[in-house]
């Protein structure tokens, strides 16, 4: 009997100790999670994003989206419900390189920019920078980093919401390999179809996307990735009584093979890839019908080597580009059916950089690159890309970085970005449109953390001198009403951007988030007698305030974001008239007016029904535009039923706020 009692006591004590240990482990895991910052800034407003923690940020359609998260950083200007651009420090959207494992992704937005094509659970993290380094871009970069460790246990996550469903699964495919598969599908129109309106048009929308990444470790010194991605979108606008409608479908695709080999003191990275983007938009109005197909496909190879303080890179890419190619029927003048020819070009890069400590808390980095573009029948263009950084390490008082870089870029992105319809296309430099772009960039940045790393502060001032810029001033009505020549819709000129970015972040603890502020000027001067003087760019926002906050209660967490920004410039139409069946519009001074201030607040809450080291089951509730602000997104032509005629009026996203509900499971 004593033995039985003794065994029972020991068993009870063991179970109590085990439960206490489990509780200690859970608390340790939770503490470790809270001590991981969402954003780690390394140089100015540049660094890495922890994709694991963005689930606490308000989501749209139940999806935690890394690009929407990045737009809350002060270095990236606000985008609206009809603009998916990434305008970083006053640069154009196309100046920012968006990539997946270093491979360019063209057109990385779903649903007019409301969220991106990236499934965050599929990736290791997101790297962002206000300077693209050796890459042929005038602005910064956003790169979704591939997972580089093998999966040992099956895991993944899934979410099911009122508007979309997504899932990611991680599997071991052997001792030295693993695979990650992600997929997402929307059914937005089932519940929200009758509420989705832009201006007076009903909107129908849907998309599908998927990712597959296979990682193989053939030996202790090698890693091989095979990465495949694809997505397709379709949207329709129906203007009902206006006897007008628009629809568009577009796709993205990417395939890449990455191979890293690790020598004793040398790392060699190689990538062969193919990436493509295509769009076909159609519009019908007043008896006319028009189609606007465009596409861009790139096949390339690049290699990088890291040896002690040196970095070397080389690469080549072949581009096949079909700029916007209108096909219009229904009018007497169909001269625009002649077609815009396909463009071909080969882009090459050679680059070397070196980093060295100079003593006295100083570090220097210097690089020199050569960027080339060869266009059959047009010629070739070559240019150097020097850059340098001088870094002062003040230890616990932070770091100061002075940067200069000469940047070059051979691809332009143009289209009706601010009109709410996804009609954007690419053109290559070196043709009748423009020579290659280049810019001189200078910046001074400061980063510091508190000794306990509870807070961080980042600041950056910058200036950019931009040359050989293009701006698209064409409209849909002009394409339908007149013969089309792309060069007639383009303004060529130079630009100047300068500004200030500030960010104060609380990195750890139950309450985390940041306050960011950006001041940005982005000016253009055109080589056209009809546009004398200097004008603000289409995307310029003078002021922007971003507030992000999350609070972790353990079994549930809440998050909220607030964005307040100055309105963007636009060209106000002064009058329009109808001749026969054609609408002729007379515009005022270019970008002489500004839209009203934009403000939006989003909120969300996650309730964890079950939360352990291995599993999470919970419910997400998010509200987009919780304050119900009717932000003016632009001006568009609409049909006035009372006046029985057309007029230019403010265009708004008619759904004042959008709630979403989703169940998620992670294992």
Residues β-bridged to residue 209: 184, 231
Rounded to an integer, what distance in angstroms lies between the CA atom of residue 84 and that of residue 92?
12
First to last CA, the chain: 44
Rounded to an integer, what distance in angstroms lies between the CA atom of residue 144 and that of residue 420?
27
Tens digit of each residue's pLDDT (9 = 90 or more) over 548-594: 999 998 888 999 999 999 998 888 877 776 665 566 677 788 888 89
3-class secondary structure per residue, 107-143: CCEEHHHCEECCCHHHCCEEEEECCCCCCCCCCCEEE
Element (H, E) at 552: strand 543-552
pLDDT at 173 over 50: yes
Average per-residue pLDDT for the chain: 82
CA-closest candidate to residue 298, choices 213, 411, 214, 403:
411
Contacts of 495 (CB under 8 A, 6+ apart): 464, 465, 466, 467, 469, 522, 523, 524, 525, 537
> What is each CA distance from 126 to 67, 233, 268, 376, in whole angstroms?
9, 24, 22, 37
Tens digit of each residue's pLDDT (9 = 90 or more) over 458-517: 999 999 999 999 888 776 666 665 566 777 788 899 999 999 999 999 888 888 899 999
**Pair 541, 552: CB distance under 8 Å:** no
Stretch 147-173: mean pLDDT, rounded? 90
Report percent pLDDT > 70 for the chain: 80
Rounded to an integer, what distance in angstroms lies between the CA atom of residue 234 and that of residue 221?
44
Residue 5: predicted pLDDT: 34
Residue 95: predicted pLDDT: 93
Matching residue, tokens 């949207």: 235
Residue 19 — pLDDT band, cuts 50, 70, 90?
A: very low
Stretch 407-417: mean pLDDT, rounded? 86
Residue 335: predicted pLDDT: 47
pLDDT at 17 over 50: no
Phi, psi at 25, each rounded to 5°: -60, -45
Tens digit of each residue's pLDDT (9 = 90 or more) over 45-78: 777 887 777 777 877 666 778 888 888 888 888 7
pLDDT at 197 over 50: yes
Residue 451: predicted pLDDT: 65
> What is each CA distance from 147 to 12, 51, 226, 407, 508, in whole angstroms?
43, 12, 12, 30, 24
By residue count, the chain amounts to 667
Rounded to an integer, what distance in angstroms lies between the CA atom of residue 279 and that of residue 496?
31
Please give the residue that has the higher pLDDT: either 457 or 35.
457
Half-sphere exposure of 136 (CA within 13 A, CB side): 28
**Pair 513, 455: CB distance under 8 Å:** no
Rounded to an integer, what distance in angstroms lies between the CA atom of residue 88 and that of residue 108?
15
Question: How many other CB atoms are there within 10 angstroms of residue 23's CB atom?
Answer: 10
Residue 632: predicted pLDDT: 81
Stretch 128-149: mean pLDDT, rounded? 92
Concatenated DSSP letters for 468-508? Answer: EEEEE---HHHHHHS---GGGGEEEEEEEEEEEEEEEEE-S
The structure tokens listed for 367 are 């690089």
């Amino acid at each position: 009997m004593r033995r039985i009692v003794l065994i029972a006591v020991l068993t009870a004590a063991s179970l109590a100790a085990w439960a206490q240990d489990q509780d200690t482990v859970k608390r340790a895991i939770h503490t470790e999670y809270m001590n991981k910052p969402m954003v780690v800034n390394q140089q100015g407003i540049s660094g890495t994003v922890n994709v694991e923690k963005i689930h606490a940020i308000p989501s749209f359609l139940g999806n935690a989206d890394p690009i929407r998260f990045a737009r809350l950083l002060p270095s990236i200007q606000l985008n609206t419900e009809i603009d998916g651009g990434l305008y970083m420090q006053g640069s154009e959207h196309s100046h920012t390189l968006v990539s997946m494992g270093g491979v360019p992704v063209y057109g990385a937005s779903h649903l007019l920019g409301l969220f991106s094509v990236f499934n965050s659970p599929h990736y290791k993290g997101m790297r962002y920078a206000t300077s693209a380094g050796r890459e042929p871009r005038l602005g910064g970069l956003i790169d979704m980093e591939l997972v580089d460790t093998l999966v040992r246990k099956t895991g993944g996550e899934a979410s099911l919401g009122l508007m979309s469903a997504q899932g990611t699964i991680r599997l071991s495919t052997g001792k030295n390999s693993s695979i990650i598969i992600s997929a997402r599908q929307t059914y937005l129109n089932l519940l929200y179809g009758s509420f989705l309106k832009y201006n007076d048009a009903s909107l129908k929308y849907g998309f599908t996307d998927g990712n597959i990444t296979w990682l193989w470790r053939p030996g202790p010194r090698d890693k091989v990735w095979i990465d495949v991605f694809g997505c397709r979108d379709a949207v329709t606008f129906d203007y009902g009584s206006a006897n007008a409608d628009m629809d568009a479908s577009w796709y993205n695709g990417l395939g890449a093979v990455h191979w890293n080999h690790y020598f004793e003191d040398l790392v060699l990275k190689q990538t062969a890839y193919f990436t493509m983007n295509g769009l076909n938009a159609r519009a019908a109005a007043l008896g006319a019908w028009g189609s606007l197909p465009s596409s861009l496909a790139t096949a390339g190879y690049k290699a990088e080597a890291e040896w002690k303080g040196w970095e070397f890179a080389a690469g080549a890419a072949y581009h096949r580009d079909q700029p916007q190619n209108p096909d219009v029927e229904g009018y007497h003048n169909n001269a625009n059916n002649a077609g815009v020819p396909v463009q071909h070009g080969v882009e090459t890069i050679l680059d070397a950089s070196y980093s060295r400590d100079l003593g006295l808390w100083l570090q220097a980095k210097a690089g020199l690159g050569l960027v080339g573009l060869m266009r059959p029948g047009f010629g070739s263009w070559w240019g150097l890309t020097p850059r340098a950084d001088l870094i002062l390490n003040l230890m616990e008082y932070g770091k100061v970085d002075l940067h200069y870089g000469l940047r070059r870029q051979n691809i332009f992105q143009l289209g009706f970005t601010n009109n709410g319809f996804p009609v954007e296309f690419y053109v290559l430099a070196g043709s009748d449109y423009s020579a290659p772009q280049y810019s001189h960039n200078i910046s001074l940045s400061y980063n510091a953390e508190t000794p306990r790393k509870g807070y961080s502060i980042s600041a950056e001032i910058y200036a950019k001198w931009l040359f050989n810029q293009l701006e698209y001033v064409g409209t849909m009505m002009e394409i339908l009403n007149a013969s089309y020549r792309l060069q007639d819709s383009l303004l060529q000129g130079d630009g100047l951007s300068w500004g200030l970015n500030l960010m104060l972040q609380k990195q750890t603890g139950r309450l985390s988030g940041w306050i960011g502020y950006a001041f940005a000027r982005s000016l253009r001067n055109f080589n056209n007698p009809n546009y004398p003087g200097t004008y603000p760019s289409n995307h310029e926002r003078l002021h922007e305030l971003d507030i992000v906050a999350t609070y972790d209660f353990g079994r549930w967490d809440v998050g909220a974001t607030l964005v307040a920004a100055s309105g963007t410039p636009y060209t106000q139409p002064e009058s329009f008239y109808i001749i026969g069946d054609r609408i002729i519009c007379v515009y005022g001074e270019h970008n002489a007016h500004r839209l009203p201030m934009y403000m939006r607040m989003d909120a969300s809450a996650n309730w964890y029904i079950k939360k352990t080291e291995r599993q999470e089951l919970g419910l997400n509730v998010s509200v987009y535009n919780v304050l119900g602000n009717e932000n003016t997104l632009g001006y568009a032509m609409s049909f006035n039923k009372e006046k029985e005629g057309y007029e230019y009026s403010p265009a708004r996203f008619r759904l004042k706020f959008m709630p979403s509900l989703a169940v998620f499971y992670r294992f």
